A and B are shown apart, each in its own frame.
Chain A
Amino acid sequence: MIARYALLGLLPVVAVAALSQRRRLAAIIGMGLFSILLAVVYLLLHAPDVALTEATIGVALVAAIYVLAIRRTGRLTVVADEAPRLLSREGDRIVGLEHEILEGFARHLGLDLSIQFVPYRDVADLVSRGEADIGAGGLVPDENVGGLVTKAYLETALFTLGSTPTPAASVPPAVHYEGYFDDLDPEAIYRSTDPVTLDLARFLAVRRSDAPVDSIVRHPKQSGYAFLTSGRRRSLHADLEAYLDGLRDSGRLDRLIRRFLG
């Protein structure tokens, strides 16, 4: 009897606790807890069949469907190409300037950040198809990228590298490249005569790797790193712009830039 009333009293407490969770996964876990307690109450009321149904539906089926539903909506999915110092892997961790910005933005929205590394050329396509919320990783978007681009958070420059092909035997192992170049074949710079255009961050990494580059042409056009959102996600775009403005105004962006690139 006392147990039943104690559980009944606990139910609204758990319900309010579940509703007031900021993280959605925590809210779902709270809902599952509520269902379990309710099932125990049913059991104490001599209704084992109802208790069983409540436990299986409330905890297993509904929670599973909710978890599946929030796996994309409860997280901020970012697709990115690795860019040294901006967004790159360091062992199991992801570090860099963009990581700090995106992590703060996700926390600001109450979402979990999920970064997936994809080839550079796929970033815009995945974002425009709605598979990911934000495209990042040292993006230097041009006008016809197809999507909403934020104001540049950092200036950069584009360099076109040209080289004479080197015989395959003298190509040094790709290990020099630190895994930064998912998008372009690391040996392409050695083998091909086609010029390759790189942004400043990737350009510096190539320079550090002793690639035999014959000509370097700096593009005169002003360019900058920015984030990309789908054309249909206007509110997300506006949120991100506002967040970046806030970072800029408070001087935090400058501090971050100095920390990662200074």
Chain B
Amino acid sequence: MKRRPFHAAVIGAAVCLAVLVLLAFHSAPPEYAPHTTFVERPVEETGATNRVASVYLNYRLYDSILEILVFFVAVLGVRYYLGRRERAALPSLAESEVVRTSAALLFPLALLLGVYLAALGHLSPGGGFGAGVIMASGLLLTSIAVGIESIERRLRRAALERIERAVLLVLLTMMLLPLLFGSAPFTDLLPKGRPGTVLSGGSILLYNVLIAAKVLVGSWLVLGSFVRHRGEI
């Protein structure tokens, strides 16, 4: 109850920023390029060898921010409605030893794959969204292995919600920041780097890592809520 004003302020700030992003986009529409240029030029222009990433995290970043907002609202809705339900009172069902051991073995692999996809999303197929989902699935597997209670003790929900909102604010700020430097919003101002190396592609690497973090936390909040309130692991 006490923290409600804080939550309202954060959500309000996020909504205001989102409106600002939309207004900024409206006042300075990005240059519409014929689709051939997306295929032919992006490596010089964005520094990213994965052309898909260069489209959705550079040329069409404004599309992606809307997707991030949709995801944020979905997580918020799940948390709101399930947060009002009492948690399930039935004892949880124990999984077999085989399931628990193999679930625990898969977690580090999922984490590694997630970090790889997020860190190299601008070079090869991958990207923040898939990376976040894979890591959240890894966490779900771990909760099969060690129990949801043990994970919740280490990852407190309130802290996770704060992280999720903070990452969203950072993302929105990053997209608006070019306004301060006299450029159109969504412009990539970071150096492009040498294509093919990890530190290339301007802001795409940063966006991928931030989106991965946001999707990881958001998916875990949703999955964790479902585990706690509907089923059991």
Tell whether, in the assembled complex, residue A52 and residue B125 are in contact, meaning their CB atoms are under 8 Å apart: yes
* Selected contact of B133 from candidates A61, A69, A71, A72, CB within 8 Å: A61
* A61-87 at interface with B (beta carbon < 8 Å): 61, 64-65, 67-72, 77, 79
Tell whether, in the assembled complex, residue B90 and residue A52 are in contact, meaning their CB atoms are under 8 Å apart: no
* B1-31 at interface with A (beta carbon < 8 Å): none
Tell whether, in the assembled complex, residue B230 and residue A72 are in contact, meaning their CB atoms are under 8 Å apart: yes
Q: In whole angstroms, what is the CA distance A60 to B89 when docked?
A: 27
Q: In whole angstroms, what is the CA distance A124 to B136 when docked?
A: 37
Q: In whole angstroms, what is the CA distance A69 to B231 when docked?
A: 6
B226 close to chain A: CB less than 8 A = yes
Tell whether, in the assembled complex, residue A61 and residue B50 are in contact, meaning their CB atoms are under 8 Å apart: no
Q: In whole angstroms, what is the CA distance A72 to B87 when docked?
A: 13
Contact flag A68-B223 (CB < 8 Å), given A52-B125, A60-B133, A79-B90 = yes
Digitize A128-146: 1 where CB-to-B-CB distance is under 8 Å, 0 elsewhere. 0101100000000000000
Q: Closest CB-CB distance, B60 to chain A, in whole Å? A: 14
B120 close to chain A: CB less than 8 A = no
B contact residues, total (Cβ < 8 Å):
28
Tell whether, in the assembled complex, residue A126 and residue B137 are in contact, meaning their CB atoms are under 8 Å apart: no
Q: In whole angstroms, what is the CA distance A242 to B225 when docked?
A: 36
Digitize A94-132: 1 where CB-to-B-CB distance is under 8 Å, 0 elsewhere. 000000000000000000001010100000001001011
B140 close to chain A: CB less than 8 A = yes
Q: What B residues does A132 contact at CB under 8 A?
A: 90
Closest to A71 in B: B231
Tell whether, in the assembled complex, residue B126 and residue A49 are in contact, meaning their CB atoms are under 8 Å apart: yes
Q: What B residues does A13 contact at CB under 8 A?
A: none
B34 close to chain A: CB less than 8 A = no
Q: Closest CB-CB distance, B55 to chain A, in whole Å? A: 10
Closest to A63 in B: B137
Q: In whole angstroms, what is the CA distance A69 to B233 when docked?
A: 12
If over half of A's interface residues share one DSSP class (helix, strand or loop), that class is named, otherwise mixed; here it is: helix
Q: Closest CB-CB distance, B71 to chain A, in whole Å? A: 11
Q: What A residues does B125 contact at CB under 8 A?
A: 48-49, 51-52
Tell whether, in the assembled complex, residue A53 and residue B129 are in contact, meaning their CB atoms are under 8 Å apart: yes
* B35-93 at interface with A (beta carbon < 8 Å): 50, 52-53, 88-91, 93
Q: Closest CB-CB distance, A61 to chain B, in whole Å? A: 5
A57 close to chain B: CB less than 8 A = yes
Q: In whole angstroms, what is the CA distance A202 to B90 when docked?
A: 25
Tell whether, in the assembled complex, residue A69 and residue B230 are in contact, meaning their CB atoms are under 8 Å apart: yes
Q: In whole angstroms, what is the CA distance A135 to B168 when docked?
A: 46
A56 close to chain B: CB less than 8 A = yes
B residues lining the A interface (CB < 8 Å): 50, 52-53, 88-91, 93, 117, 125-127, 129-130, 133-134, 136-137, 140, 219, 222-223, 226-227, 230-233
Provide 20 A-B residue pairs closer than 8 Å at the C-beta atoms, listed in order of the A residue.
Answer: A49-B52, A49-B53, A49-B127, A51-B125, A52-B126, A53-B130, A60-B133, A60-B134, A60-B137, A61-B133, A61-B223, A64-B137, A64-B140, A68-B226, A69-B230, A77-B90, A79-B90, A116-B91, A126-B89, A131-B89
Excluding A61-B136, A69-B226, 19 further A-B contacts by CB distance (< 8 Å) are A49-B50, A49-B53, A49-B125, A52-B126, A52-B130, A53-B127, A60-B137, A61-B133, A61-B223, A64-B137, A65-B222, A65-B226, A67-B231, A68-B226, A69-B230, A70-B231, A71-B232, A116-B90, A132-B90
A residues lining the B interface (CB < 8 Å): 48-49, 51-53, 56-57, 60-61, 64-65, 67-72, 77, 79, 114, 116, 118, 126, 129, 131-132
